[in-house]
Amino acid sequence: MLFVRTLQRGTLPLVLLAAVALTGTEADAKPAFAMKERVDCLYCHVQPGGPRNFRGLYYDANKYSFANFDNEYEAKAAGVEPDSKGADAVPKNKNYPNVPVPKALNFTLKNIDGKPVKLARYAGDVILVVNVASRCGYTPQYADLQKLYDEYKKKGLVVLGFPSNDFGMQEPGTEAEIKEFCTTNYKVTFPMFSKIAVKGDGQVPFYKFLTSKETNPKHAGDIQWNFEKFLINRKGEVVARFPSKVKPTDPEVIKTVEKLLAEPRPGATATE
């Protein structure tokens, strides 16, 4: 009788929907991130409904959020390939996700396309950090930065460009405009980041670390202008700083870069 009444009232579809919901399993449901990115269960699980791989472990550890997820870094930390899925994405590093990160690289910033990047993804490389601008007298140094990057990237050098409008309002554009300017005029291929403040009240934590006497006593001091440069060695230590007027192709810069590149990566064997 109840079934007849339900049918007559037109509520049967709701009843059936509720029944389906009750019989569904947790493994069938996709989180909002997975739905948005159009990924399947193997993106986060060894098998549907099974143990988590490195992405699933991250998702769980960060209270079910991928807000600051950097797939390239997390894969590196887990010891697997960035495009691995399912069982292939199970961490080979038994310490994952508790992987030590150098203090100078323990920061997450957004790249020029707005995606989160953990600077720790560059651990083991020699890193040249530069605050850049599109309308500065030093802007042609983009060409020198690209030349340096092309020359030494296969040996482990990475150049990181951080646009800033802090000096003379010389970087007023949007990230899209900055990207277009760099690629069109200087063929920039090294990593570029979203516009940030490198001094003052809005200074991002990464640049606060670089300029503070407490965290970087040997090379501390406020950023004075666009295109100041910091060098970070393979151990994640800040080892040199060059003022704006010193070009990336200056003999002293190249000498220092080559010296740092000659140092072994942490944990590398003699044959690597």
Q: Which of 15-24, 48-57, 197-206, 256-265 has the lowest mean pLDDT?
A: 15-24
Residue 268 banded pLDDT, cuts 50, 70, 90 = low
Q: Are residues 118 and 253 in the same domain?
A: yes
Give the contacts of 36 (CB within 8 A, at least 6 positions apart). none
Residue 258 pLDDT > 90: yes
d(CA 34, CA 36) in angstroms, rounded, equals: 5
Report which of residues 270 and 211 the model is more confident about: 211
Share of the chain above pLDDT 90, in %: 81
Which residue, 64, 99, 134, sits at the end of a domain?
99
Q: If we measure between CA atoms, which residue out of 221, 219, 178, 216 comes closest to residue 196? A: 178
Tally the domains of the chain.
Answer: 2
Q: Are residues 199 and 238 in the same domain?
A: yes
Q: Are residues 147 and 88 in the same domain?
A: no
Phi, psi (degrees; rounded to nearest 5) at 126: -95, 125
Residue 95 lies in a domain: yes
CB 52 within 8 Å of CB 86: no
pTM equals: 0.86
pLDDT tens string 137-172: 999 999 999 999 999 999 999 999 999 999 999 999
Q: Catalytic: which of 41, 44, 136, 182?
A: 136
182 labelled catalytic: no
112-138 burial, b for 16+ CB within 10 Å, e for fewer? beeeebbbbbbbbbbbbbbbbbbebeb
Which residue, 99, 127, 146, sits at the end of a domain?
99
Across the chain, mean pLDDT equals: 89
Range of the domain at 115: 103-261
Mean pLDDT value across residues 61-90: 96
CB-based contacts of 110-113 (< 8 A; 24+ apart in sequence): 110/193, 110/194, 111/191, 111/192, 111/193, 111/194, 112/163, 112/175, 112/178, 112/179, 112/192, 112/193, 112/194, 113/175, 113/179
Residue 204 banded pLDDT, cuts 50, 70, 90 = very high
Mean pLDDT value across residues 239-243: 98
pLDDT tens string 96-134: 999 999 999 999 999 999 999 999 999 999 999 999 999
